[in-house]
Amino acid sequence: MAIVKKYLSKDKTIRMASIVSTDLVQESIRHQSISALSLVLSGRLLTGTVLMASQLKEDQTVGVYLKGDGPVGTLFAEATYDGRVRSYCSHRNASQENLPTLGAGLGKGFMEVVRDLPFQKEPHRGTVAIQTGEVADDIAYYLRQSQQIPAIVSLSVLPDENGCAYAGGYIVELMPGYDESTLDKIERIQAQVPAIGHLLEGGATAQDLISDFLLNIPFDELTHPHEVVYKCKCSVERMERSLMTLGATEIRQLISANEVMEVTCEFCGKVYEINPLQLQRLLKQIT
Ligand SMILES: [Zn+2]
């Protein structure tokens, strides 16, 4: 069971969230084969997005796109405050061969963060350039640039022959009212923390991942009683809507083939059957 642990420093200038996300990352690849490189980068994004969502409010959702020119292509993860997450990788079999770093798997491009707020017509969007492509650095850069929040972001996914051996991460964010000495302090602590991959491999809990911060700074734990689950929100209607974006010409061609089409959800692997009658109805709606 995956649970986000959340803490706020007693002086309210530092907030932290951490999670062991092994089960979530494993569930995200249950329906598909994936290379180690694609797994590591998409698992990091899934974990980081869950942590970002945990700092939202009830009924809010955050979606994070990483669109690069590297072999991994586009990554997307979407998470809600109350703990639903799903993720997608456009090139699941990207190879690490000849790449100088993992981040080169994403390459150059941009990161877009879309926050859906209830009672607002338009979602809030923020875009920054991909920095290292290692995902954690990119989320930290986004938080600083787009939301003026200095942050430490640490994410790790360890692949094995069965998929994901361990995954987890934490985000430490400074809140309005912090001063330079607070920033110094968390950076000094971060420099002493063992590599997160080692902690996860040793069986660390979400709380263990940030124990050095908890030991050195007075914190209160915040309640966040939401179990995080990998859950897709696909439906026939959503699949039909995405088919409509193909346009009339393409849909006419599909109708003339007179076959039942199979459309697979990219997030969860569920297969939807769309018959020619349904296609006729879609065509009517767009012509
Ligand atoms: Zn789905």
pLDDT at residue 259, as a whole number: 86
Distance 186 CA to ligand 1 centre (A): 39
Distance 270 CA to ligand 1 centre (A): 6
Distance 261 CA to ligand 1 centre (A): 17
Quick: pLDDT tens for 164-218.
999 999 999 999 989 999 999 999 999 999 999 999 999 999 999 999 999 999 9
Same domain, 250 and 221: no
pTM of the model: 0.93
Distance 267 CA to ligand 1 centre (A): 5
Same domain, 177 and 71: yes
How far, CA to CA in Å, does 203 sit from each of 6, 149, 200? 19, 30, 5
Same domain, 69 and 157: yes
Distance 229 CA to ligand 1 centre (A): 14
For residues 279, 280, 284, 287, the Cα torsion angle rounded to the nearest 10 degrees is 70
Same domain, 166 and 137: yes
Same domain, 95 and 210: yes
Give the Cα separation of 132 and 140 in Å (integer).
11
Distance 273 CA to ligand 1 centre (A): 13
Asked whether 126 and 112 are in contact (CB, 8 A), the reply is yes
Asked whether 103 and 64 are in contact (CB, 8 A), the reply is no
Give the Cα separation of 80 and 279 in Å (integer).
32
Distance 28 CA to ligand 1 centre (A): 11
Quick: pLDDT tens for 57-109.
988 999 999 999 999 999 999 999 999 999 999 999 999 999 999 999 999 99
Distance 86 CA to ligand 1 centre (A): 9
Quick: pLDDT tens for 126-158.
999 999 999 999 999 999 998 888 999 999 999
Distance 275 CA to ligand 1 centre (A): 19
Same domain, 170 and 213: yes
Provide the domain limits for residue 274. Answer: 236-286
Nearest to 5 by CA among 50, 61, 36, 41: 50
pLDDT at residue 122, as a whole number: 87
Same domain, 216 and 253: no
Find the CATH number of the domain harbouring 152. 3.55.30.10
Quick: pLDDT tens for 234-281.
999 999 998 888 899 999 998 999 888 899 898 898 999 999 999 999
Sheet of strand 14-20, all strands in order from the earlier edge strand to the far edge = 151-160, 163-174, 14-20, 5-9, 219-222
Find the CATH number of the domain harbouring 246. 3.90.1280.10
**Residue 9 C-alpha from the chain's centroid:** 25
Same domain, 185 and 248: no
Distance 253 CA to ligand 1 centre (A): 26
Q: Are strands 84-89 and 227-230 parallel, antiparallel or unpaired?
A: parallel
At 55, phi and psi to the nearest 5?
Answer: -95, 5
Same domain, 217 and 246: no
Distance 265 CA to ligand 1 centre (A): 5
Last residue of a domain, one of 230, 256, 271: 230
Same domain, 225 and 241: no
Same domain, 154 and 259: no
Distance 13 CA to ligand 1 centre (A): 39
Nearest to 282 by CA among 243, 250, 235: 243
Same domain, 148 and 211: yes
Q: How many domains does the chain have?
A: 2
Distance 195 CA to ligand 1 centre (A): 34
DSSP annotation of 56: S
